[in-house]
Amino acid sequence: METTTAITADVLVVGFGKGGKTAAHVLTDAGRRVVLIEQSENMYGGTCPNVGCVPTKMLVHYANTRRPEDDAQKFFANSTAGVRALTSAFRAGNFEALNSKDTATVITGAAHFVDAHTVAVGEGDHRITVTAPTILINTGSEPVMAPIPGLAASPHLVSSTELIRTDNLPERLVVLGGGYLGLEFASIYQRFGTHVTVLEASGRLLPREDEDIAEAVTEILTGDGVHVITGADITEVRDSGAVSTIVYEKAGRKHTVEAGALLPATGRRAVTAALRLDAAGVQTTPKGAITVDEHLRTSQPHIYALGDVNGGEQFTYISLDDARIVLDQLLGEGKRSTADRRAVPHTLFITPPLATVGLTESQARAQGLNIRVSREKVADIVAMPRAYTVEETRGVMKFVVDADTDLILGAALLAIDAQEVINTVALAMRHNITASELRDSIYTHPSSTEAFNEVFDKVIS
C-alpha cells in the first residue's frame, strides 16, 4: 500500500545552495516554518563547499606548497584527504545548523512539482509532499557535455567533482575548454605534477578579456608547463586501453593528443530537467534556465528562483545576493532588485589569480568613452614589495579610468592577492571614489593594495 506523508510549511526551499540556505536561515529566525529539500546528502550547503569553491581553492593552496622532492601521487592523495575532511565538516555543519532549528526541516531526496504550491519527494512508497504558499528554487547548475563523437562514452571521461574526489593523480590530463573552470584545474593539476593540455576553440584564452591580459595569463600558464592549444576544433575521442586519443583540427590540419583523464570544461546549465516545472506553470528559457524578473519572481509570482538556476552569473556570491533580494520581497520593503548590482568582481584562481571588475579597455573604447589606461607589470611596481616578499612577482595590474571624471571604469589584476584587492576596487567603483583618491590613500605596508599608490600614475594611453 502506498503511503504519502503530507507536510505544510510557510516557505519551501528546493535546493541547499548558498541562496537557498541563507534565505532559509533568515526566514526561520523570522518565525516562518521552513522545509528545505536537497537531492543528495553529499550536497548539503550546495556546490561551493562540497565540489566547487572550497575544495578547488584548497587544492590551489596544497598544489602551491608541493616541493620538487615530494612524491606526486602521495602528496596528491594527502591533499585530497585534507579536502575531504574539510568538506565533510562543512557539509555536516550546514545540515545541523538548519535542521536543528525548531521551525526548520531538511528532507533528502529528488523533488518534483505536483502543482504550483506542492512538491513531491520520491515516488511510490513513502512519498512525501510539501505544500507552501511561497517556494524558492535553488537547484544550481551542472556541466554541459559537448556533442563530440566518442566523448560521452569514454571511460577516461571525468567531471570536476570526480577529479577532486579521487586519490589518483592522473599522469596526463586534457582539459576541453579554456574558461575559468578549465584554467583553474589546468593550473592546479600541473602544479601537482600532472602533464596538462588545454584545448580551446577560440583563437586565444579568455576572449572576453583584453588581449594583453589574456597573453599575460597564457604566458604564466605555459611558463608553469601547461600546454595551451588555441584554435582547436575537437572532432573525435578515441579510446584504447589506458588512454584516450583526442583528435582535433587546427589551421586546417589534424592533430592528436593523449590523455589518461579527460575533463570537459565547456560550460554549465541550470538543473531543471527533473523538476517538472510545467506542472507548476513555471516558464524556462530555451536553455532550460528559469525565467525571472528583476525581483527573481518566476512566471508564478509566489515562486522565486535563486542562483545558477535562474540563468544569471554562476557565482556563489551572486546566489547570496539573490537571497538578499528575495528576503527583501518577503520580509522587507521590496526595493532590492538585480538592477541594483554594480561593479561585480570575478576571480580566476590560477597562480597568481586574475581578478577583474567593470569594463575592459576594449569595451570602453567600443563604447566611445574618453579613457586613460594605467598599466604596470607587478615585477616593476616599486610600491608593492609584498610581491617580492612572497616570491610571486608575475603578472600585471591594469585600470581603465574615465578621463573626464577620474572615475574607475574597470580593472584587471593578475597578481598575488588579486582576489582580495579587487574588492577594494569594486567598492570604490560603487561609491564613485576616484582613481586619484585610491592613488593617494594610505595603505598598510607591505601589502598588495599599496600598488594603487603607483599604478594609477603609469598611464599608457
Q: Please indicate if the annotation marks 57 as binding a ligand.
A: yes
Q: Please indicate if the annotation marks 139 as binding a ligand.
A: yes
Whether 445 is catalytic is yes
**Cα separation, 231 vs 200, whole angstroms:** 6
Q: Please indicate if the annotation marks 405 as binding a ligand.
A: no
Q: Please indicate if the annotation marks 182 as binding a ligand.
A: yes
**Cα separation, 145 vs 160, whole angstroms:** 12
Q: Please indicate if the annotation marks 200 as binding a ligand.
A: yes
Q: Which of 126, 255, 302, 445 is catalytic?
A: 445
Q: What are the cell numbers at 392?
A: 610571486
Is there a cis peptide before residue 352, judged by omega within 30 degrees of 0? Answer: yes
Within 10 angstroms of residue 273's Cβ, the number of other Cβ atoms is: 12
**Cα separation, 81 vs 289, whole angstroms:** 35
- b/e map of 237-252 (b: 16 or more CB within 10 Å)? beeeeebbbbbbeeee
Rg of the chain over Cα atoms, rounded to whole angstroms, equals: 24
SS3 content of the chain, % helix, strand, coil (to 5): 35, 25, 40
- The residue with cell 598599466 is 375
Q: Please indicate if the annotation marks 178 as binding a ligand.
A: yes
Beta bridge partners of 261: 173
On whether the CB atoms of residues 413 and 354 are closer than 8 A, the answer is: yes
- b/e map of 116-128 (b: 16 or more CB within 10 Å)? ebbbbbbeeeeeb
Within 10 angstroms of residue 225's Cβ, the number of other Cβ atoms is: 13
Question: Residue 246 — φ and ψ, nearest 5°?
Answer: -100, 125
Q: 134: burial class by Cβ within 10 Å (0-12, 13-18, 19+)?
A: buried
Q: Please indicate if the annotation marks 20 as binding a ligand.
A: no
**Cα separation, 93 vs 264, whole angstroms:** 31
Which are the contacts of 67, defined by CB distance < 8 A and separation ≥ 6?
none
- Report CA dihedral (277, 278, 282, 288) to the nearest 10 degrees: 60
On whether the CB atoms of residues 264 and 145 are closer than 8 A, the answer is: yes
Which residues define the annotated binding site? 57, 139-141, 177-184, 200, 267, 308
Which residues define the annotated binding site for NAD(+)? 177-184, 200, 267
- Active site positions, annotated: 445
Which residues define the annotated binding site for FAD? 57, 139-141, 308
